[in-house]
Amino acid sequence: MSESRSTSKSHDSFNQNIIKKQISDLFETDDLLNNPDYVRFNNCLKSWLSTTNLSNRNEKDLQLDFFQNCLKRYDQHIDNRLKYTDGFKGIISKALFDRLIPDFCLVDNYNSHVKSLSSGAITDFRDIRFAMVRRSTDDDDQFKYEASLQAFQDENEYLSQYLTMFFTADRSKFGFCRLEPLPDNIRIDNRLLGIGANAMVFSCSRINGQSNEYALKISNDSVQKEVSIYQQLYADKYRIVQVHPNAFLFLHPPGRIVSKENLLDNAHLIWNQIKKAHQRRILHRDIRRSNIIEIFNEKMNSNEILLIDWQSSMEFGSTMKYNGTLSTASKFILEELAKNRNSSLECLPVDDCVSFMKMILLELIAESFKKALSSEVQQGSFSGILLVYYEMKKSWKKKPPILFEVIDFLEKHRQHFNEDKLNAFLDQCLENRQSLFQLDNQQTDDNYFNQLTRQIFPS
């Protein structure tokens, strides 16, 4: 799962990041105006406006009057899908909206086991606007804010058209994404196996008379791509079954994060899985030790090493906003993000290889550097992450370990590696991994890797 960064937003940040749109751009007005619900609600609203003095009432009284004498008259059961939220202090709403708590919150199956995203109408009936808050579709750690511009001079005309659209438009206009229940035969245990910015993994079992323990991944996005990648790479070896648009079962006893010793001893096996994905034009983009597990193979009576979590993966040649790892990201990616965190990037196979080598490096360096790196990741400081790696390399008074030289070589020739050269370089590096993974290298080790780099790119 991709690394979590802080997503709390202040009141000022909310106002600075609003995407303002005309109401006509938020709703398909042609279809809406012919909707019987639109006409009926509009009549109720005009009646309420004609009998209500908007200027001599405080906001709280006005909102409650609107809820009881307009909305409830339009639909006496409207509280099944809409809540009056004045004074609501929920942790999530407070974190997202600060003082701009939604006056009315459209919901779907409120407080039931089936929930959806919600949208708020932030309004004081004078400076009225529609607002929607949702996670960005291409960066799960950024929130998108959309608000309506006031389109009419006449307050009642604007209020009439605006509120009618808001309360009668199809829920899909507000980003609703209904989460259907999981199948009845899946029982989630109390043990949380892993958590990230995009998903959680639980221990679970199937209610079918067997007591086998499995792993269930529940994501905030579709898991179809990830399931498809597992099928491409491993066929049915690990019995991965999609049980929900946002969840899949790993029909195998849960594994555990690989130990440092097994990571280093089996680095060549991990590289083979990365290489196999590259041969199918798939980039992982989230290579970290926490995404590599050990699972027990009963037939072989031994542990297997498996690279997991392909949720951040992308196809070769794709250009999109980056949502992969930061702690092991290549220098190129971090520098581009430091210029513009929302820029679209084309990741290359060499970026996965840099992440792979940095992952190994992080198992060898001092704990203080790991803590410093983790702090910069949590803050989302791209320049800070680059600085930690700079200080890491600088801390060696003599010649830095060969692993740094290998990473620098990959970074330097990022644009020049083709598939054959990249695979040959990594293959030969890992053939001499005992030397590669040492912090104090002998001259013979230096000679081996110097000769290797000259073979790949003769100068």
Domain extent listing, the chain: 123-254, 259-458
Residue range 236-287, pLDDT digits in tens? 888 899 998 889 999 988 899 999 999 999 999 999 999 999 999 999 999 9
Higher-confidence position of 438 and 62: 438
Q: What is the mean pLDDT of residues 328-352?
A: 93
Tokens representing 20? 């303002």
Tokens representing 407? 């990473």
Tokens representing 440? 């104090």
Q: What is the mean pLDDT of residues 346-358?
A: 96
Q: What is the mean pLDDT of the chain?
A: 77
- What is the sign of the dihedral through the CA atoms of 109, 112, 114 and 115? positive
Q: Supply the pLDDT for residue 259.
A: 95
Q: Supply the pLDDT for residue 140.
A: 44
Q: Supply the pLDDT for residue 98.
A: 40
User: Taking CA 51 as the corner, what is the angle to CA 165 and CA 43, rounded to the nearest 5 degrees?
Assistant: 35
Q: Does residue 398 have a known ligand-binding role? A: no
Higher-confidence position of 57 and 369: 369
Residue range 103-158, pLDDT digits in tens? 565 554 433 333 333 444 444 454 444 445 444 444 444 444 455 454 445 555 65
Question: Among residues 253, 255, 287, 260, which one has the least CA distance to residue 273?
Answer: 287
Q: What is the mean pLDDT of residues 314-338?
A: 93
Q: What is the mean pLDDT of residues 312-331?
A: 92
Tokens representing 367? 């704990």
Look at residue 212 and tell me whether its pLDDT is greater than 50: yes
Ranges 90-104, 150-164, 186-200, 294-308: which has the least confidence: 90-104
Q: Supply the pLDDT for residue 105.
A: 57
Ranges 50-54, 168-172, 342-346, 394-398: which has the least confidence: 168-172
Tell me if the pTM is above 0.85: no
Distances (CA, A) of 34 to 39, 168, 355: 8, 11, 55
Q: What is the mean pLDDT of residues 176-198?
A: 73
Q: What is the mean pLDDT of residues 408-412?
A: 96
User: Quick one: what percent of the chain has pLDDT higher than 70?
Assistant: 68
Question: Among residues 311, 289, 156, which one has the least CA distance to residue 226?
Answer: 311
Ranges 133-137, 152-156, 327-331, 414-418: which has the least confidence: 133-137
- Helix/strand/coil (H, E, C) string of the chain? CCCCCCCCCCHHHHHHCEEEECHHHHCCHHHHHCCHHHHHHHHHHHHHHHHCCCCCCCHHHHHHHHHHHHHHHHCCCHHHCEEECCCCCCHHHHHHHCCCCCCEEECCCCCCCCCCCCEEECCCCCCCCCEEEEECCCCCCCEEEEEECCCCCCHHHHHHHHHHHHHHCCHHHHCCCCCCCCCCCEEEEEEEEEECCCEEEEEEEECCCCCCCEEEEEECCCCHHHHHHHHHHHCCCCCEEEEECCEEEECCCCCEECCHHHHHHCHHHHHHHHHHHHHCCEECCCCCHHHEEEEEECCCCEEEEEECCCCCCEECCCCEECCCCCCCCCHHHHHHHHHCCCCEECCCHHHHHHHHHHHHHHCCCCHHHHHHHHHHHHHCCHHHHHHHHHHHHHCCCCCCCHHHHHHHHHHHCCCCCCHHHHHHHHHHHHHCHHHHCCCCCCHHHHHHHHHHHHHHCCC
Q: Which of 64-78, 99-113, 266-280, 291-305 has the highest mean pLDDT?
A: 266-280
Distance between CA 232 and CA 161 in Å, rounded?
51
Q: Are 449 and 438 within 8 A, CB to CB?
A: no
Kindly report the CATH class assigned to 259-458: mainly alpha
Look at residue 420 and tell me whether its pLDDT is greater than 70: yes
Look at residue 79 and tell me whether its pLDDT is greater than 80: no
Q: What is the mean pLDDT of residues 382-386?
A: 95
Q: What is the mean pLDDT of residues 47-56?
A: 78
Q: Supply the pLDDT for residue 32.
A: 61
Q: Are 223 and 243 within 8 A, CB to CB?
A: no
Q: Supply the pLDDT for residue 170.
A: 59
Higher-confidence position of 348 and 434: 348
Tokens representing 215? 């792993």
Q: Supply the pLDDT for residue 409.
A: 96
Look at residue 58 and tell me whether its pLDDT is greater than 80: no
Tokens representing 33? 């105006």
Tokens representing 30? 């042609």
